[in-house]
Structure 1
Amino acid sequence: MVFQGSSAAISHTGKVRSNNQDSGYSGSNLFAVADGMGGHAGGDVASSLAIMRLQAVDQPFASTSEAERALRDAISDSAAELIDTVAMRPELAGMGTTVSALVMVDDYAVIAHIGDSRIYLYRDDALTQITTDHTFVQRLVDSGRITPEEARFHPRRSVLMRVLGDMDPDPEVDTFIMPTQQGDRWLLCSDGLSGVVDDAHTAKALGAGLAPGRTADSLLKQALDAGAPDNVTLVLVDVGGQHPIFSGTPTIVGSASNPNGIVVPAARSGRGGWLHPNRQAANEPTHFEPEAQFLEELIEEDRRRARRRRAGWIVGLIVVLALIAAGLFGGYQWTQTRFFVGTDEDTVIIYRGIQQGIGPISLSSVYEDTGIPIADLPEFERSAVEATVSAQSLAEAEDIAARLRATVAVTK
């Protein structure tokens, strides 16, 4: 049956890019985001072609398995069309796109995903990332070499390991089926949103209870306020809920919304990109699918970075330990300039150091046994010596011992 819920789609060029290479689609049963790459115009074409092909899937399905096959076929057809387009227009070689799509079938969401656009589920006040990024950095996270927080700022965070492109007629696409329920909010977005707005702020916006359109506007504003260095596209889908039931024509946003259809640009002169002999120069591209040799270089570079990071920690630790050791040594040296008068239970002793210790470590040592018997001292002087008498210098300690000796001589 036709999906019962509400949805919204929005796309923005961002604050840095000169054109929008993203595309988004919100229909009756199909919802999708595609983030194009491959030069100033190639990304536009790639994401638009993918969305146009996927539109055929926007229909009710008798079963989830049928919808899953239809999604796979549509994405495979998109790959074939990208290859055919590049064959006709070699200057577009190297273009590609991510695809994150879901089809609602009764109480299930059928999901297809390739690339680093994302699908999130907001349920019971908790936000969960449903798809896994097909990126170099995500592999580092999965292998435990870096943390998810480090991945957010890793210099290679946009290097794609899998993408729908013009080189592979049989792309490896993740597809799976998940149960959904009343009150669920599904968010599909390009990395222009997920790369700058963290999960906590995304969850807060989704949990505010606003209609899909207003929620989408709020998330886009957060991305723009954070600088929006990339195109921002998002599709928000509510299952049931308090807002009006979705109806009307599909909403298409981004480059696929061109009212004249997909326009393959004329050939442009200029030197091709270094990853492909005929690739157009990109407007500071954020995505590319590395060749095997280049990927090995990236992995080795990351290993070097990890070694440098470990070396930095080790050097820092050594410096800290050296400073602590120097402080302890300096403190010990100072204690050895101090003296006090005490007892060894039989005679009066002049000690070098201070009375305190560090755990089992004593900070004093016997400097001189005066030979003055403790038993011969008057009670007051004996108590004072047993409690120890501090001296600022050796001369002062010797003066104290001399007075005690004189006191013993007087009492005899």
Structure 2
Amino acid sequence: MATSGNSAAVSHVGKIRANNQDSAYAGEHLFVVADGMGGHAGGDVASAIAIKRIAEVDRAFDSANDAEFALHSALLAANTLLAETVFEHSELTGMGTTVSGFLRVGDKLAMVHIGDSRIYRLRDSVLEQITADHTFVQRLVDSGRITPEEAAVHPRRSVLMRVLGDVDAAPEIDTTVIETQPGDRWLLCSDGLSSYVSDEKMQAVLNSVPTADEAARRLVKESLDQGAPDNVTVVLVDVDASGDSSHTPPITVGSAATPLSFDSDSNRRPLRLPTLLLHPLKATQPDPSHFEPESDGYLDELILEDRRRARRRRITWAIGLALAIIVVVAAALFGYQWTQTRYFVGESDGNVAIFQGVQQNLGPIPLSTVVEETAIGLSDLPAFTRSSVEATINADDLADAQAIVDRLADARTP
């Protein structure tokens, strides 16, 4: 970890990984995070190469648009370097990296983004994700096929659609110029933070910890407290009235902070990096070689699998609903049958009558019927007895009800 005034950079290998495949840079004008992938002998090299090349544009620019162009060009140059490195070191085939960063030019930020590392802005105590993940599940969310809540637990939530690597000579990179203002706090992080610490928790930490270095360390600790199986990297940049967020001298953390190491193990099976890449799933133990689909039709397979999952989910819900309806209907039938074993004596059309069922109604549905209406009029009964009949008199069975009627007949006034 390194800090300087209004900025900080922290990277941790996590609790399970053997090496750190994240890299980050905090400089005078440039702040950037990269999350590498491609196995033990690839991800660290990919992120380090990208950060070292992109760091070359850490200088002042006349305008934010010039900075945006330079930063975009630096990412394309880094992409070319990755391809050349793979050509020279075939054991690194399949490596790639995400990149998210910005150059600060006065009150503007020239921003670049590819992959699923993220840039957040805390403004007026509210944390907002500025970048959009280039992931399979984010496409499903954008198309309305799943909700953000479903995306958070989707088994393919780590499949990437765009990265820097050795496949696409001109990858699609998101670039934009965005204004910043005093009081803003900018967070750049790898998915080792965003996948394990909720936005609400990050917001709480950023609001409660005033200094950049302490807040960055606290965020990393929050991820470690959640188990942090993946590498976690944080760059934090505060914007104050002085307009100075620079880290002096510039600092590099993660794999880019160490000399590049190329593993020439000839027994390592080369992996092909298609347009789709897969980080280890959150719920599984990280596999050093990663899982990288080799079929060009893998996206179609994922879409079909997602449709099958949705269909199975609908079938499961339908079966569950049907079972619930059956249980409710069975309970209703059982309850109704039980009510029909009960009897009581009450009033019907001014006369004493024997009812089968119970006195209550189920909404508009009566739960009792007249079994026998007698010739005993309520007006013939003493006042107390009449009020008892009006309030109904419970009977154990039909014979007991008839016995109650006989006693009422004897109680009639002459």
Same fold (TM over 0.5): yes
One-letter code aligned to 2:366: S
What secondary structure sits across from 1:85 in the alignment? helix
What secondary structure sits across from 2:24 in the alignment? strand
2:62 is the counterpart of 1:62 = yes
2:367 is the counterpart of 1:363 = yes
2:262 is the counterpart of 1:264 = yes
Residues 161 and 290 of structure 1 are in contact (CA less than 8 Å); yes or no, is this contact kept in structure 2?
Answer: no
- In the other structure, the counterpart of 1:82 is 82
What secondary structure sits across from 2:297 in the alignment? helix
1:241–1:156 Cα change, 3 Å: farther
2:144 is the counterpart of 1:144 = yes
Mean CA deviation greater in 114-123 or 352-361: 352-361
Q: How far 1:66 moved relative to its partner? A: 0.5
One-letter code aligned to 1:263: S
The 5 A counterparts of 1:104-143 are 104-143=104-143
1:153-207 deviation line (CA, Å, top 9, x unaligned): 2221110011111000101000011110011110100001111011111111111
What secondary structure sits across from 1:371 in the alignment? strand
Residues 90 and 270 of structure 2 are in contact (CA less than 8 Å); yes or no, is this contact kept in structure 1?
Answer: no
Mean CA deviation greater in 29-38 or 294-303: 294-303
Q: How far 1:5 moved relative to its partner? A: 6.9
The number of aligned residues is 402
- In the other structure, the counterpart of 2:283 is none
What secondary structure sits across from 1:39 in the alignment? coil
Q: How far 1:212 moved relative to its partner? A: 1.1
Q: How far 1:143 moved relative to its partner? A: 2.2
- In the other structure, the counterpart of 1:328 is 332
Q: How far 1:285 moved relative to its partner? A: 5.4
One-letter code aligned to 1:230: D
1:327–1:152 Cα change, 3 Å: same
Q: How far 1:283 moved relative to its partner? A: 3.8
1:81-132 deviation line (CA, Å, top 9, x unaligned): 1111111122211111000010101100111000000000011100000000
1:257-311 deviation line (CA, Å, top 9, x unaligned): 11x3x333324313344767xx9x9944567577541111111111111111222
Mean CA deviation greater in 386-395 or 78-87: 386-395
Match for 1:297 among 295, 298, 301?
301
What secondary structure sits across from 2:160 in the alignment? coil
- In the other structure, the counterpart of 1:47 is 47
Residues 35 and 43 of structure 2 are in contact (CA less than 8 Å); yes or no, is this contact kept in structure 1?
Answer: yes
Residues 110 and 175 of structure 1 are in contact (CA less than 8 Å); yes or no, is this contact kept in structure 2?
Answer: yes
- In the other structure, the counterpart of 1:393 is 397
Provide the C-alpha distance between the structure 1 equivalents of 2:289 and 2:351, rounded to a whole number of angstroms: 85
1:283–1:405 Cα change, 3 Å: closer
Provide the C-alpha distance between the structure 1 equivalents of 2:101 and 2:7, rounded to a whole number of angstroms: 14
2:375 is the counterpart of 1:354 = no
Provide the C-alpha distance between the structure 2 equivalents of 1:369 and 1:67, rounded to a whole number of angstroms: 96
TM-score by length of 2: 0.91
Provide the C-alpha distance between the structure 2 equivalents of 1:212 and 1:30, rounded to a whole number of angstroms: 16
Mean CA deviation greater in 371-380 or 121-130: 371-380
- In the other structure, the counterpart of 2:168 is 168
- In the other structure, the counterpart of 1:374 is 378
Provide the C-alpha distance between the structure 1 equivalents of 2:301 and 2:246, rounded to a whole number of angstroms: 49
2:94 is the counterpart of 1:94 = yes
What secondary structure sits across from 2:19 in the alignment? coil
1:202–1:79 Cα change, 3 Å: same
- Please, which runs of 5 or more residues in structure 2 have no aligned partner? 281-285
Provide the C-alpha distance between the structure 1 equivalents of 2:36 and 2:237, rounded to a whole number of angstroms: 22
Q: How far 1:30 moved relative to its partner? A: 0.4
Residues 36 and 97 of structure 1 are in contact (CA less than 8 Å); yes or no, is this contact kept in structure 2?
Answer: yes
Match for 2:348 among 344, 348, 369?
344
One-letter code aligned to 1:266: S
2:208 is the counterpart of 1:233 = no
- Please, which runs of 5 or more residues in structure 1 have no aligned partner? none
1:164–1:289 Cα change, 3 Å: farther
1:171–1:287 Cα change, 3 Å: farther
- In the other structure, the counterpart of 2:37 is 37
